[in-house]
Amino acid sequence: MGQFNNEIWFVGAEMAPLVKAGGLGDVMGSLPKALLKAGMNVRVVIPYYKNIIPKDLMEVEKSYPAGTVNFGEIPFEFGVKTGFASGGIPLVLIEQGHFFNREEVYGAHGGAEGYKDNLWRFAMLAHGTAYAMKILGIPLVVHAHDWSGGFVPAVVRQTLGDKRVHVEGAGVLSTKLSKHINAKGLRPALVFTIHNLRYQGVYGIDDFYDIGLDFKYNSSFAYEHFGTINSLKGGIKLSDVLTTVSPTYASEITTHSFGFGLDGELKNLKDEGRLKGILNGIDLDYWNPKTDNFIYYNLNLKKNRYNLESYKEWKNFKLKNKRALFSEISMPVKTDKNGVPFPLIGIVSRLAEEKGINELLDALFNWNDFPFQVVILGSGEDYIERKAGRLSEVCKDKVYARIGKYDEALSHKIYAASDIFVMPSKFEPCGLSQMIAMRYGCVIAAGDTGGLHDTVSDISDDNIEEPTGILIKYVDAAGISWALDKLYGFYISDDIGKWCSLIVNSANRCFGWDDSAKVYEDVYYSLL
């Protein structure tokens, strides 16, 4: 090894639309696309999940000789393949049948019940990434993501040493260059992104000796954390710079309430200038109500900036998609005494305690004859899944729940049909669903935290000129009921302009990647 190429490698467990369990997948699919568009040289490294990657979304072009890693005394062989995802994003696929030929990315119920060998599965991803560098050349930057990419910095350092490559030249990461740099004994710059600090990849310390890492990484300066292996902690400690997915969340995680035991480490990194909050974006081409192939009816407006005169077409767009969705799921369109359809609440979420869905369900159970219809898509913790299913049984003409597995097509249809999109999160690193929902003309009700605070303009704030929804200060059944009741008041108001302006304001919010991609570009160059 020793020859560098002018590339940035993204490494993680997911990449939409090939394979997605949450927001990480969206970012792994859309940020590299934005960087490629900006002229940078990018590859994405993911496991080769043969069972769950649709063949029409990816083209495998080449296979390379197999590599081997010893986990304890057991050798495991793995393969490396290269190809392209739809949209032309270059791929490196780490192939290992025993670890990656599964029906889910992390485990059952959207990862709520993780596979017992996830430690070895994602250690395999790290070793496969380092082996691929031997074949394809060493990238100038390795950008690893979340706990599933947490072993990448250690394996890169173990393979190439601790001294970081330094390269002069503003365009060194550009696709216009075919630049190779001989830098024997140097390693790439290491960037690490936390998407959700709650999930850290914590395992028994005895298993450390069976994942192919040098003993020196079993220390408080790397993966050891109060007598356990902590994949996320090691990824944080061994990277050159740490990013997270919104400015507010970058501040929150340095506090005891949001730090999940790592707030001390994170505060130190922030004080050193190594922790940056960069707001995520969405793929504006993929999430586009005018061209979306998943939805029943597209938005018939040519302009990209909307005004109150656009509301008639937005109303038509919503109503037609709502009727079509209800026909598909066999739910009647309910109306009030004046014949006005009940507003549709959309929920596309992991059904986890942090998401506030349990409290939302309590609010609806406790609300006498609530004036909404609700469509829920999600999977997660068993007791929340059961509660959502029970609500749909009790209120079958008002509530529909698709529980257990993510459905991409249905998610698009929910965004297009919903009047109100609810994300009552207790903490939310960034959240992409609210950005998508606003693009489809939804009014947002969300917890006042993390990226939701950064992206939802609160109608309760008199200083906000173009509100897009309401922020819930106290995420409990009473707080959620208050927020929904207030939005319902706008929906049925005699002053229809209030509701129209909320929809138009939401649709005008643009959360593409252009600005944030430039910030990431600056981060990469600052390390080189």
Domain spans, the chain: 3-282+514-527, 308-508
The arrangement of strands across the sheet holding 224-225 comes to: 202-204, 228-230, 224-225
User: How sure is the predictor about 160, in pLDDT bands with cuts at 50, 70 and 90?
Assistant: very high
Q: Is 274 exposed, middle or buried (CB count within 10 Å of its CB: 0-12, 13-18, 19+)?
A: middle
What pLDDT sits at residue 469? 97
CA distance 318 to 312: 10
Mean pLDDT of 333-356: 94
Does 353 have pLDDT greater than 90?
A: yes
Looking at 191-195, 214-218, 309-313, which range is the least confident one? 309-313
User: How sure is the predictor about 178, in pLDDT bands with cuts at 50, 70 and 90?
Assistant: low
Could you give the angle at the alpha carbon of 43 between the alpha carbons of 176 and 265, nearest 5°?
115
What pLDDT sits at residue 365? 96
Residue 267: its H or E element: helix 263-271
Mean pLDDT of 271-277: 95
Token pair for residue 317? 């767009």
What lies within 8 Å, CB to CB, of 424 at 6+ separation is 355, 356, 357, 359, 360, 445, 446, 447, 472, 475, 479, 480, 483
**3-282+514-527 CATH, one of 3.40.50.300, 3.40.50.2000, 3.10.290.10, 3.20.20.120:** 3.40.50.2000
CA distance 511 to 439: 9
**64-122 pLDDT per residue, tens:** 999 999 999 999 999 999 999 988 999 999 999 999 999 899 998 777 789 999 999 99
User: How sure is the predictor about 137, in pLDDT bands with cuts at 50, 70 and 90?
Assistant: very high
Average pLDDT value over all residues in the chain: 94
- Chain-centre distance of CA 326, in angstroms? 28
Does 159 have pLDDT greater than 70?
A: yes
- Asked if 143 contacts 28 with a C-beta cutoff of 8 angstroms, the reply is no
What pLDDT sits at residue 387? 97
Q: Does the N-terminal peptide bond of residue 139 adopt cis geometry, omega within 30 degrees of 0?
A: no
Mean pLDDT of 453-466: 90
- Asked if 355 contacts 433 with a C-beta cutoff of 8 angstroms, the reply is no
- Do 3-282+514-527 and 308-508 share a fold? yes
- Chain-centre distance of CA 514, in angstroms? 17
CA distance 501 to 465: 11
Does 461 have pLDDT greater than 90?
A: no
Does 168 have pLDDT greater than 90?
A: no
Does 462 have pLDDT greater than 90?
A: no
Could you give the angle at the alpha carbon of 204 between the alpha carbons of 162 and 94, nearest 5°?
55
Amino acid at 150: G
pTM: 0.92
- Asked if 106 contacts 135 with a C-beta cutoff of 8 angstroms, the reply is no
Parallel, antiparallel or unpaired: strands 180-182 and 3-11:
antiparallel
What lies within 8 Å, CB to CB, of 256 at 6+ separation is 263
* Residue 268 phi, psi dihedral angles, 5° rounding: -60, -45
User: How sure is the predictor about 354, in pLDDT bands with cuts at 50, 70 and 90?
Assistant: very high
What lies within 8 Å, CB to CB, of 187 at 6+ separation is 138, 156, 157, 159, 160, 161, 162, 163, 164, 165
Length, in residues, of the chain:
528
- Chain-centre distance of CA 407, in angstroms? 16
Q: Which residue has the tokens 């480490």?
A: 265
What pLDDT sits at residue 2? 60
- Chain-centre distance of CA 476, in angstroms? 24
Class of domain 308-508: alpha beta
Does 494 have pLDDT greater than 80?
A: no
- Asked if 131 contacts 82 with a C-beta cutoff of 8 angstroms, the reply is no
CA distance 311 to 316: 8
Token pair for residue 191? 């960037």
CA distance 115 to 102: 10
- Chain-centre distance of CA 497, in angstroms? 34
Does 337 have pLDDT greater than 80?
A: yes
% the chain with pLDDT above 70: 98
Beta-carbon-side half-sphere exposure of residue 132 (alpha carbons within 13 Å): 29
